[in-house]
Chain A
Amino acid sequence: MGRLTEKHNLKGTLVCVEGIDGSGKSTQLALLRDWLKSIGQDVIFTEWNSSELISQTTKLAKKKNMLSPRTFSLLHAVDFADRAKQVIAPALKAGFIVLADRYAYTAFARDVARGVDANWVRKVYDFAYKPDLAVYFDIDPKTSLERICFNRNPKFYEAGMDLKLSSDPYESYMIFQGRVINEYKKMVDEFGLVQLDANDSIHSKQVKIRELLKEVLREKGIEV
């Protein structure tokens, strides 16, 4: 493995949050961003599947259920590579704090849960910088499902319906996201993800994540 396991020597700081939908990671990242901005830090935010190059194509293909596990994986890799080269790398070189809502670990969790070879997908993302802080919000599939179902039904790929695990989207979601969680848990040791309990209060998670970030910044000689 290349960059993903080696500390980068760039001026900036890379923070990512991981976890399945409904784990509260986006809320935590938004709170972190507002705080960092309020204390005058240079912050850039980037999220999964949002590149100008490909995200619309991927969304359309998902809507039409056109994707195999491998093309699903490669299209998300295109999106990530685009943001990695155009957004993340320049910002890190310029000394920004880069906040990423999902990172390569999302691909490792989802693609492997879809049956893609774990080693293959890790090699595909070999060009990604290792985050200075990667937080994984752990939640069980049932709570996640309840949270997302407040305002919508599980989507086709999110429920792993392409794998034909069950004809019932709710049941399929439980099985598929259970597999995704298993992959995340394996990565806690493999990549040094910091695991937080998603069931804790918003406040206590935010306190914890700020402490973790302060520690990372302190090591770089930045006091906040």
Chain B
Amino acid sequence: MEHKTKNGYEGLLIVIEGTDGSGKSTQLELLKKSIQDKSYGVMVSEWKTSRLIANVIDDAKDRNLLNATTYSLLYAADFADRLENQIIPALKSGFIVLLDRYFYTALARDVVRGQDIEWVKNLYEYAPEPDLVFYLDMPVDVLLKRIIGTTGLDFYESGRDVGFSTDFYKSFEIYQNKCLEQYDKMKSEYNFISIDGTKQIKDIHKIMNDEVQKLLDSGILA
């Protein structure tokens, strides 16, 4: 049977992208709830949570065992496992699948780590196209304050492994700026709906919810 969705299956694939501290998880929760309230089946899947490999990544990061290539490939394996075992089965059963990050995250991070973009794209070339991609656009200075105020600066999130600077603050600034540059390039290539991340939480949610509603009203799941 032919489906009207971009992802090619019965359900909907909706992605929220953005750098660390951009407010993705908050928005994901709100969106999940509002879709549930409309009586649709919702499934959420987060980056780096596969049963197969997620703990290996954490452990390897703790021990600084990763080089740029193993970093890319481990995330690709995590993604493949979640895609095949959670995401695609849910889409086939008609769920609305909400994703915290998609392969755009890998493209941004891996390219900043010096990988060839075509090589990384090939790793994910089989990934279904999302029906909506929301991108939370945040300036680096706001991101920095948010992260320092909450989780604190993490070694890899600060790109310390890449060796931009031995100063955590400086390294984070350079790394996140480079990631933002990559996201900027992807905006038009992958049809991101870019949202100013400094807006109020409820205003951002309204934009997302309206877009989802528009899609549902189009009869895409009929």
Q: Contact residues of A with B, CB < 8 Å? A: 52-54, 57, 61, 66-68, 70-71, 74-75, 77-78, 81-82, 84-86, 120, 123-124, 126-127
How far apart are B134's CB and chain A's nearest CB, in angstroms?
27
Residue from B56, B84, B125 within 8 A of A71 (CB atoms): B84
Closest to A75 in B: B77
Partner of A61, one of B52, B66, B73: B52
Q: Are A77 and B73 in touch, CB under 8 angstroms? A: yes
Interface of A is mostly: helix
Q: Measured between C-beta atoms, what is the minimum distance from B79 to chain A in Å?
A: 9
B221: min CB distance to chain A, Å: 27
Hey, which chain A residues are within 8 Å of B125, CB to CB? 120
Hey, which chain B residues are within 8 Å of A74, CB to CB?
73, 76-77, 80, 123
A residues less than 8 Å from B65 (CB atoms): 52-53, 82
Q: Which single residue of chain B is at the shortest CB-CB distance from A61?
A: B52
Check: B60 CB closer than 8 A to any chain A CB. Answer: yes
With A81-B70, A85-B70 as given contacts, are A123 and B122 in contact (CB-CB < 8 Å)? yes
Bits for B112-145, please: 1 = Cβ < 8 Å to A, else 0: 0000000100110110000000000000000000
Cα-based distance from A214 to B76 in the complex (angstroms): 40
A71-B81, A82-B70 known, 6 other contacts, Cβ within 8 Å: A52-B65, A54-B74, A77-B73, A81-B70, A120-B126, A124-B73
Distance A67 CA – B123 CA, assembled complex (angstroms) = 17
- Structural contact, A126 and B119, CB atoms closer than 8 A: yes
- Ranked 4 nearest A-B pairs via Cβ: A74-B77, A81-B69, A123-B122, A78-B73
Of A57, A67, A78, A123, most B-chain CB atoms within 10 Å:
A78
B77 contacts A71, C-beta separation under 8 Å: yes
> How far, in whole Å, are A128 and B51 apart by their CA atoms in the complex?
29
B86 to chain A, nearest CB (A): 12
Note all chain A residues with C-beta closer than 8 A to B60.
Answer: 53
User: A53 vs B122: C-alpha distance in the bound complex, in angstroms?
Assistant: 23
Q: Say yes or no: is B43 at the interface (Cβ < 8 Å to chain A).
A: no
Distance in angstroms between the alpha carbons of A70 and B52 in the assembled complex: 13
In the complex, the chain B residue whose C-beta lies closest to that of A68 is B84
Q: Is B67 an interface residue (CB 8 A)?
A: yes
**Closest CB in chain A relative to B114 CB, distance in Å:** 11
**B73 contacts across to A, CB distance below 8 A:** 74, 77-78, 81, 124
Contact B67–A85 (Cβ < 8 Å): yes
Tell me if B42 is interfacial: C-beta within 8 Å of chain A. Answer: no
How many Å from the CB of B120 to the closest CB on chain A? Answer: 10
**Which B residue sits closest to A85, measured CB to CB?**
B67
State whether A86 touches B67 (Cβ < 8 A): yes
Tell whether A71 pairs with B80 under 8 Å between CB atoms, given A81-B69, A81-B70: yes
Docked-complex contact A57 and B53, CB < 8 angstroms = yes
For B85, list chain A residues within 8 Å (CB): 68
Contact A127 B126, beta carbon cutoff 8 Å: no
Provide a sorted-by-A list of 25 A–B residue pairs whose CB atoms are within 8 angstroms. A53-B56, A53-B60, A53-B65, A67-B52, A68-B80, A68-B81, A68-B84, A70-B84, A70-B126, A71-B77, A71-B80, A71-B84, A74-B76, A75-B52, A75-B77, A77-B73, A77-B77, A78-B73, A78-B74, A82-B65, A82-B70, A85-B69, A85-B70, A123-B122, A124-B123
Residues of A within 8 A of B53 (CB): 57, 71, 75
A74 to B76, CA, bound (A): 7
Give Cα A84 to B73, complex, Å: 13
Chain B contacts of A54 at CB under 8 A? 56, 70, 74
Which residues from chain A contact B74 at a C-beta distance below 8 Å? 54, 78
Residues of chain A lying within 8 A (CB to CB) of residue B122: 120, 123-124
B-chain residues with CB within 8 Å of residue A53 when the two chains form the complex: 56, 60, 65-66, 70
